[in-house]
Amino acid sequence: MPAIRPASKRKPPPDGFSDIEEDLLIFANKMKDAQNTPTDNIPKHQAQWPIFQIAHQRSRYVYELYYQKQAISKQLYDWLLKNGYADAMLIAKWKKQGYEKLCCLRCIQTKETNFNSTCICRVPRAQLKEDQDIQCVNCGCRGCASTD
């Protein structure tokens, strides 16, 4: 692991970071809280749901700022990816047709499932039974098919 440089010796982030700094801080705090909440009394598979959800939200935030609102520069976007503010692999999926709303990468990992299929949350609502409420095991997603 590379040494963590002190703040005084770190390169300053690219321009425009100050605009989004506050919101990123909120996300970071949320994430910390989620990590520190005890998971004793919740089902084991649900323990990581909030982590996934916050990671998704934060990635989505960065993705939208760069690709949809053109609010941040390429340099800043790269810097954010490099510094772990967003999940580059997830964003890569979002750019593909059919994956625009993908909740997490685990939900499309077919090799990890018994029948080599994707997660239930990838099934379009139209193909589910009426009023079938689902919440996927991986990240607690309630449905992330593009057509929903």
Partner 1 sequence: MVKSTYQPSSSALPPLPPGWTEHIAPTGHKYYYNAETKESTYKRPGVTPTPPPPPPAAVPAAPVAVPGALPTAMPAAVPAIGPAAVPVSGYVPPLSTLNLSDPAVANAFMAQYRAQSQPQQLFGGAKPVEKPQPKPRPQPKDKPKSKVAIPGCEPWVLVYTKYGRRFVYNPVKNASYWRIPEKLMPAILEMDKERIRKKAEGDQEGGKKEEEEEKEKETSRAPEDSKQSEKRKESEAPSEQPPQRDYDSSEYEEVEVTDDEDEAADQQDQSGPPEFTEADIATQLALMNAEYGEQGDYEAGEEGQWEEGDEGLPLSEEDARALFKDLLNDFHINPYSPWEKLMEEGKIFDDARYTVLPTTKARKEVWEEWSREKIAQLKEQRAKQEKQDPRIAFLAFLQEKATPKLYWPEFKRKYRKEGPMRDTSLSDKEREKFYREHINRLKMPQSQLKTDLKKLLQSVPLSQLNNQTLSSHLPSQVLADIRYISLPPEVRDPLIEAYIKELGPPPEASENAEDEAARQAREERRKRHEKALQERERAVAEEKKRQERKLQIERERLREEERELERAMHVSKKGLQTQLLGDQMVKEDREKMETD
**Segment near partner 1 (CB under 8 A); pick from 7-15, 41-49, 87-95, 114-122:** 7-15
Angle between helices 74-82 and 49-63 (to 10 degrees): 160
How far lies 120's CA from each of 31, 57, 133, 146, in Å? 25, 20, 11, 13
Q: For residues 65 and 108, which CB has a smaller minimum distance to partner 1 in the complex? A: 65
Binding of partner 1 by 17 (CB under 8 A) = yes
Dist. CA 92–CA 100, nearest whole Å: 10
Q: How far is the CB of 63 from partner 1 (least distance, A)?
A: 11
**Segment near partner 1 (CB under 8 A); pick from 14-22, 37-45, 82-90, 137-145:** 14-22
Binding of partner 1 by 8 (CB under 8 A) = yes
How far lies 147's CA from each of 85, 97, 99, in Å? 28, 11, 10
Q: Are 106 and 138 in contact, with CB atoms under 8 Å apart?
A: yes
Contact with partner 1 (CB under 8 A) among 1, 2, 18, 130: 18
Contact with partner 1 (CB under 8 A) among 57, 109, 117, 146: 57
**Segment near partner 1 (CB under 8 A); pick from 34-42, 56-64, 97-105, 122-130:** 56-64
Dist. CA 80–CA 1, nearest whole Å: 19
Dist. CA 105–CA 108, nearest whole Å: 6
**Applying CB under 8 A, which residues contact partner 1?**
7-8, 12-13, 17-20, 22-23, 26, 57, 60-61, 64-65, 68-71
